[in-house]
């Protein structure tokens, strides 16, 4: 326990570190600047903005900002990107409650009761409970990261190549099981991601693979380029195709009476606790994330309620539980990334990209070799959650005004920003064209009900799986049974096979599809 406090002390020291800034116009006078605090604030504000504005999305935003992190220190870059991710979970509730337009996928369920509360003149308490639940869940999730980080790292260090390969297979199977829509389509996306990860030169032999004699593909497809095309450009095309303008009648109404009543707090406390626990567990699972967590928490509240018929008609517990769950899930998803080096969702896959940009190999070695980076990011989550609680409610009016900006004015600037970001990575116009091509591919995938997120996970895990597969076979002298003869590897493979069989069983597949249909409705 003492180690945890020591590590957290190190983390807070990194967060509150001051850097001397000496501008020329002050005649050599130095000003101490808390850089990491400022980056945390920027990340939280940008994340909230992304959550408020429907149609942009966390994945697209983090992908767009990846090139900017080149010029930032590693810990500052990760603090800012993490702030965007959990900040977006806060922001998504604002539009769900006020105008029935979920800014984030994780806030879809919040709209069911939040919007009804707003129609009854109780938008203030709904927003306050959403913020309080989010803050509590975020703090608990951060404690879990601090508690589980070191033990899981010690376990991960005992893993060999065979165990790592089996763990990654299990992660991809989880992504299939928890992906929205058809199981076969999810498998196809993962396979496509694995194939795209192999484009370029073989890491062992240097032989060209699927580069088609195009020099720009010799080093493989750029991760940021692919992510920005599949998520940034594709999302823009989809929103423009959908018309982009929706009914926002409640935007004009003034939000007042933010303080929830004592009865509200009494009713929502158990819901917040249940949502936090459920979200914390589901966030760790590969492919789980905020969307599954928020819906599961809402379903659980309906099950335990004495009168489930109140839900969907302005029940405050229907706001508290999903908002707590999606924020807890957003932050506990950092646990497998930091301890095992395995991203459980698409945003964490982008975080792997950010770490790679700075020469950091995610996994158990990071916590041992660069503790200041890991614990600095963990400590920043507490600071970020406190910032979001303080700034979100007073800024509701500003976020509502931003909702009035027409999409036709917003998206051209986003496209230009994306293109500048892509070009700045390698100063290569080809990257912009590749991103544009993948934007069209991503739009086609969305239109045909393929979820692009498993593709991104496949692309991130592909090189790691290939490397560990080769190592395992080299150690075993080409014996493929090594994955079944080593106990832990065999256990992970057995769990993966069981999950895959369960996912394709007709009865369970039907039940799984019903869950996603109900969450959409």
The percent of residues in the chain predicted with pLDDT above 90, rounded, is 7
CB atoms inside a 10 Å sphere around CB 157:
13
Cα-only R_g, the chain? 23
Q: What 3-state DSSP class applies to 200? A: strand
Q: Which of the listed ranges 5-9, 11-15, 516-520 does the model predict with the highest average pLDDT?
A: 11-15
CA distance 18 to 236: 39
Q: What is the DSSP letter of 206?
A: -
CA distance 39 to 90: 18
Amino acid 164: pLDDT = 84
Closest CA to 351 of 18, 31, 80: 80
Share the mean pLDDT of the chain: 80
Whether the predicted pLDDT of 516 surpasses 60: no
Amino acid 272: pLDDT = 93
CA distance 382 to 385: 5
- In tens, the pLDDT along 400-413 reads 666 666 767 777 87
CA distance 130 to 135: 9
- In tens, the pLDDT along 99-121 reads 776 666 667 778 888 888 888 87
Helix axes 74-99, 58-65, angle to 10 degrees: 150
Whether the predicted pLDDT of 273 surpasses 90: yes
Closest CA to 429 of 222, 153, 205, 268: 222
Q: pTM score, two decimals?
A: 0.72
pLDDT class of 256 with cuts at 50, 70, 90: low
| Start-to-end C-alpha separation, the chain | 45
Q: What 3-state DSSP class applies to 110? A: helix
Domain encompassing residue 76: 2-520
Amino acid 462: pLDDT = 84
**What average pLDDT does this structure show over 21-43?**
79
Helix axes 506-520, 289-304, angle to 10 degrees: 90
Q: How far is CA 239 from CA 94, 303, 326, 411, 517, in A?
A: 20, 35, 24, 9, 21
Q: How far is CA 80 from CA 42, 75, 77, 292, 402, in A?
A: 7, 9, 5, 25, 22
CA distance 283 to 334: 8
**What average pLDDT does this structure show over 357-386?**
84
Q: What 3-state DSSP class applies to 201? A: strand
Q: How many domains does the chain have?
A: 1
* Contact criterion met (CB below 8 Å) for 504 and 495: no
CA distance 322 to 481: 44
């Amino acid at each position: 326990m003492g180690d945890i406090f020591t590590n957290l002390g190190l983390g807070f020291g990194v967060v509150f570190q001051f850097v001397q800034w000496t501008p020329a116009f002050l005649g050599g006078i130095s000003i101490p600047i808390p850089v990491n605090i400022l980056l945390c604030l920027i990340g939280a504000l940008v994340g909230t903005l992304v959550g408020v504005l429907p149609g942009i999305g966390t994945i697209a935003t983090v992908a767009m900002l990846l090139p900017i992190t080149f010029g930032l220190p590693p810990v500052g870059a990760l603090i800012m990107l993490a702030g965007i991710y959990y900040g977006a979970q806060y922001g998504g509730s604002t539009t769900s409650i006020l105008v029935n337009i979920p800014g984030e996928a994780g806030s879809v369920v919040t709209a069911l009761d939040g919007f009804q509360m707003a129609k009854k003149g109780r938008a203030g308490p709904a927003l306050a409970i959403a913020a309080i639940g989010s803050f509590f869940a975020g703090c608990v999730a951060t404690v879990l990261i601090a508690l589980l980080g070191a033990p899981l790292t010690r376990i991960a260090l005992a893993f060999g190549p065979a165990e790592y390969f089996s763990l990654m297979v299990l992660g991809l199977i989880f992504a299939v099981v928890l992906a929205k829509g058809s199981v076969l389509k999810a498998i196809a996306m993962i396979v496509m991601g694995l194939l795209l990860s192999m484009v370029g030169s073989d890491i062992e032999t240097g032989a060209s693979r699927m580069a088609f004699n195009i020099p720009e593909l010799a080093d493989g497809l750029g991760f940021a380029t692919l992510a920005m095309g599949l998520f940034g450009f594709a999302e823009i095309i989809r929103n423009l195709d959908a018309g982009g303008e929706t009914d926002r009648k409640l935007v004009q109404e003034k939000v007042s009476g933010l303080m929830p009543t004592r009865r509200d707090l009494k009713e929502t406390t158990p819901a917040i606790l249940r949502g936090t626990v459920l979200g914390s567990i589901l966030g760790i699972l590969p492919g789980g994330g905020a969307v599954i967590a928020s819906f599961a928490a809402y379903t659980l509240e309906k099950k335990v309620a004495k009168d489930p018929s109140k839900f969907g008609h302005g029940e405050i517990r229907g706001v508290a539980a999903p908002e707590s769950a999606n924020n807890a899930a957003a932050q506990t998803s950092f646990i497998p990334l930091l301890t095992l080096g395995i991203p459980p969702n698409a945003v964490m896959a982008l975080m792997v990209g950010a770490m790679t940009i700075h020469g950091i190999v995610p996994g158990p070695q990071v916590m041992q070799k660069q503790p200041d980076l890991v614990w600095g990011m963990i400590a920043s989550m507490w600071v970020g959650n406190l910032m979001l609680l303080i700034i979100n409610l007073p800024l509701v009016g500003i976020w509502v005004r931003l909702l009035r900006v027409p999409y036709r004015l917003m998206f051209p600037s986003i496209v230009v920003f994306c293109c500048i970001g892509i070009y700045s990575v390698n100063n290569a116009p080809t990257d912009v064209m590749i991103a544009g091509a993948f934007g069209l591919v991503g739009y086609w995938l969305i239109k045909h009900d393929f979820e692009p997120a498993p593709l991104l996970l496949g692309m991130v895990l592909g090189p790691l799986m290939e490397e560990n597969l080769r190592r395992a076979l080299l150690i075993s002298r080409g014996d493929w049974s090594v994955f079944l003869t080593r106990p832990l590897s065999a256990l992970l493979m057995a769990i993966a096979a069981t999950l895959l069989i369960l996912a394709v069983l007709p009865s369970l597949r039907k039940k799984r599809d019903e869950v996603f249909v109900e969450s959409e409705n």
